[in-house]
Structure 1
Amino acid sequence: MFKRYSILFFLMCSPLIFAQTIDEKTIEPKQDSIKKKELLQSIGNGYLPSKYFNIDLRYLIKFNQYEGIRTGLGGETNNTFSEKVRFNTYLVYGFIDHRFKYSFGGGIRLAEKTKTWLNLSYTDDLQETGSTKFLTDKRFFQFFEPRLLNIDLFHKHITKSIALEHEITPNLISETEFAVSNINPTYNYSYAVNNTTTLDAFHLSTAKIALQWSPFENGSDAFKNEYPKFTFQYTKSFKDVFGSDFGFSKLDFRTIQKIGNKDHSFSEITLVSGIARGSTPLTHLYHAYPNNITKETILQRFSVAGLNSFETMYFNEFFSDKFATLQLKHFIKPFNISERFKPQLVLISRFAIGDMKSPEKHQNVTFGSLKKGYTESGFELNKLLFGFGLSFTYRYGAYHLPEFGDNIAFKFTFNVSL
């Protein structure tokens, strides 16, 4: 137990230590033109800048149940290298699965005014089963992703893709992608195509288009002007195109709204939904962002609360081919106890609903349905010490469990901003 939380503490603090080391030791006289504020802003966006190449901080160190410690290095060229051509790559290694994962790619700018780029990439890596990645989300970065610590259901993929990113207006960005992937689940799973044929590894040829609309984006105060945000993504898999085994379609939607002033009390509303139609393997269906490990007691389940996850929902407990989640957070004005100690109380309520048309097609796995509606509520008390806090969440309603303690999630939180 001590060893486990020592690893967690190291993973969460490493970005802070790294940033502090950079702040104190890396800024040499020859870099005097780069101000401290600009450097910290760059780090907050996930990059450590150098003359021609920006190191991507996402790949330095992470942890999950399948790979254990995952560490490596990645980055991309910057405008000093070229404003019209860019290259990006990463290489990481998992200490439990003993396997390297990597990606490399590049892009060429087609139009400066509309920020239009044509990109190519080759990736050999893992992805969490049931997760959805919006193409436009690669512009965002988190120092620490708490859910990663407990995820154990991954599938390997080798993906070759070509993509076009384009700024339709300053408020509306888009990206389209065509990709060919080889998918191999790391767990015992097979999809029943019919009564006589099952697949435990498969090929996919997919086309995606994603749009992110920020109607009040104007480049000034980010908190006041970047919300609401609306993100749409449509995915089409083409059967028999480049050997693809499945033909299905998916439509995903997310909106985030913030109401109030971040220096006082404010509320955050997040709505996420998705629907899949056609023969769709479990790898490309939906979970509902669970973040609870299957252990016997509350203290054994004590871990790190996620940012937008269901803390009382157990990993791999539910999967759906159509679902929706609604999350409400109300941030109380920070308690001004002292100049350095300003904890903040956050009230949280979450709801999820979903269903699956043909669960029997997904063999060797067991999961439930969300058609009755899943609810949990609780609170967080954040920034108690060095960005650490505590959270308490309770599961109630249709999926309330017989044992009282199984409905409770008690965890710590970690919040840091530069």
Structure 2
Amino acid sequence: MRKLGIILILLFFAFSSRAQTPVTEFSEKESDSLRKKEFYNYLGQGYFPVKYFNIDLRSLIKYNQYEGIRAGFGGVTSKKFSEKFRINAYIAYGFRDHTYKYRIGSGFRLAEKTNTWLNASFTNDLQETGSTTFLTDGRNFQFFEPRLLNIDLFHRHYTSALSIEHNILSNLLNKTQIGSSEIRPTYNYEFVVDDNAYHDFSLTTITSSLQWFPGIKTNKEIKRISYPIVTLQFTQSVKNLFSGDFKFTKLDFKTIHQLKHRNTAISELTFTSGIAKGHTPLTHLYHVYPNNINKETILQRFSVAGITSFETMFFNEFFSDRFITLQYKYFFKPFRISEYFNPQLVLITRYALGNMDHIDRHQNATFGTLEKGFTESGLEINKLLFGFGLSLAYRYGAYHLPEFGDNVALKFTFNITL
């Protein structure tokens, strides 16, 4: 019934809109310049434009510990197809779990001035346990996602969602979504509530996200002109609505700020926090984005460093129902050794603090908490060769481990600018 409802909404959108191709006159030189700028803009967001359809480069191939190689295809219709209606979809196959995943969705623009869209979607896919997604975050495209290579703790979800996105101001974005999900952890886990143990369960959530940044509106688009970027998100899980099993509340916050110094160096500060109250399963609690493989030696753990992840924290080592993280990066001015060789030194310090109530509710899961405060510091030397560099991080403080080598993370970095 739920799938049928989504299909009917998609059909309604399809028959109530039509493809439109706006015509604007430019000189040949101006037209070529605009086309190149638009192409690189799409590519920077992870799309390859093909007239009426933008191919999603993120959907083509990935790798993780559960699916192995994941190959797929997907994308979204372009403005040349229609400026009032869009369809987005993907399909993917995991060669290790031998399972297809897919998503189909559509959007219908209700108001051009405020960029108001009504969206509907159905998703059958995996999500990393303990991860947080902000609805208002834009696409963050990377040629490959470093953390994804080593993640092994996923839950499968079948989610029907209806959402509305709206620009309250030109630089204040809102997206609100109601979703109904069936959750199936891919690992041995039970969530105990009122003497009942749940492995599979259903959730109905209402989520609203706000994002603000210093920006201006140009040519119907919003352009961010500086920092900070501030995001606040509220989630309410409702019991007994569309078969929802649990009631809980989450509040998540994130801000990123950059300061440019006179010597062209840059300081970047990232602060995140979250709290979950009520009957919240492990799937929807928090890790702080660990990125260290559970292997014995430094060389066995040699992989690729993330952008905001904790490089010395082992996967699934800590979970929290309330946490804060603080990360500071200092980007030195690139070393101009030659025209094509400009490595850059970055100093990094990360801190995490968290805790959890009612740990006994989470059965068949072993993890620690962060009430003593987790600290790591290190450096990166980026863009040494073809975008690759090196990262070195050291874990110290309350969660320092007895063996010296277990506190060290040596990894590749990968940075490329389009």
TM-score by length of 1: 0.89
Partner of 1:57: 57
**What number of residue pairs does the alignment pair up?**
385
- Structure 1 pair 344–311 and aligned structure 2 pair: CA distance change class (3 A): same
Partner of 1:344: 344
CA contact (8 A) 1:223 1:262 kept: no
Once the two structures are superposed, the pairs formed by residues 212-361 of structure 1 within 5 Å of their partners are 212-214=211-213, 216-218=214-216, 225-260=225-260, 264-361=264-361
Partner of 1:114: 114
Partner of 1:208: 207
The alpha carbon displacement at 1:150 in A equals 0.6
Unpaired runs of 5+ residues, structure 1, are 1-30
| 2: CA distance, partners of 1:224 / 1:262 | 22
Partner of 1:130: 130
Residues 139-159 of structure 1, C-alpha deviations (whole Å, 9 max, x = no match): 443332211111000000000
**1:162 aligned onto 2:162:** yes
- Structure 1 pair 223–208 and aligned structure 2 pair: CA distance change class (3 A): closer
The alpha carbon displacement at 1:262 in A equals 10
Residues 288-326 of structure 1, C-alpha deviations (whole Å, 9 max, x = no match): 110000101000000000000000000000000000100
Once the two structures are superposed, the pairs formed by residues 72-221 of structure 1 within 5 Å of their partners are 72-194=72-194, 196-214=195-213, 216-218=214-216
When the two chains are superposed, the root-mean-square deviation of aligned CA atoms in Å is: 1.7
CA contact (8 A) 2:204 2:244 kept: yes
Aligned-partner residue type, residue 321 of structure 1: D
Q: Secondary structure at the match of 1:405?
A: helix
Aligned-partner residue type, residue 98 of structure 1: H
CA contact (8 A) 1:342 1:383 kept: yes
Aligned-partner residue type, residue 185 of structure 1: P
Aligned-partner residue type, residue 387 of structure 1: G
Residues 78-113 of structure 1, C-alpha deviations (whole Å, 9 max, x = no match): 111111111110001111111110000101110000
| 1: CA distance, partners of 2:129 / 2:263 | 38
Residues 207-228 of structure 1, C-alpha deviations (whole Å, 9 max, x = no match): 00000000x21268x9982310
- Structure 1 pair 225–92 and aligned structure 2 pair: CA distance change class (3 A): same
Q: Secondary structure at the match of 1:251?
A: strand
Q: Secondary structure at the match of 2:90?
A: strand
Q: Which runs of 4+ in 1 moved over 4 A?
A: 31-34
The alpha carbon displacement at 1:40 in A equals 2.2
Q: Secondary structure at the match of 1:316?
A: coil
- Structure 1 pair 111–98 and aligned structure 2 pair: CA distance change class (3 A): same
| 1: CA distance, partners of 2:223 / 2:329 | 16
TM-score by length of 2: 0.89
| 2: CA distance, partners of 1:116 / 1:51 | 24
Q: Secondary structure at the match of 2:300?
A: coil
The more displaced of 276-285 and 261-270 is 261-270
| 2: CA distance, partners of 1:343 / 1:219 | 35
Q: Secondary structure at the match of 1:398?
A: coil
Aligned-partner residue type, residue 227 of structure 1: Y
| 2: CA distance, partners of 1:77 / 1:83 | 10
| 2: CA distance, partners of 1:327 / 1:61 | 30
- Structure 1 pair 219–181 and aligned structure 2 pair: CA distance change class (3 A): same
Partner of 1:410: 410
Q: Secondary structure at the match of 2:406?
A: helix
Partner of 1:10: none
| 1: CA distance, partners of 2:376 / 2:410 | 13
The alpha carbon displacement at 1:229 in A equals 0.3
CA contact (8 A) 2:217 2:223 kept: no
CA contact (8 A) 2:215 2:223 kept: no
Aligned-partner residue type, residue 353 of structure 1: L
Q: Secondary structure at the match of 1:135?
A: coil
| 2: CA distance, partners of 1:143 / 1:112 | 32
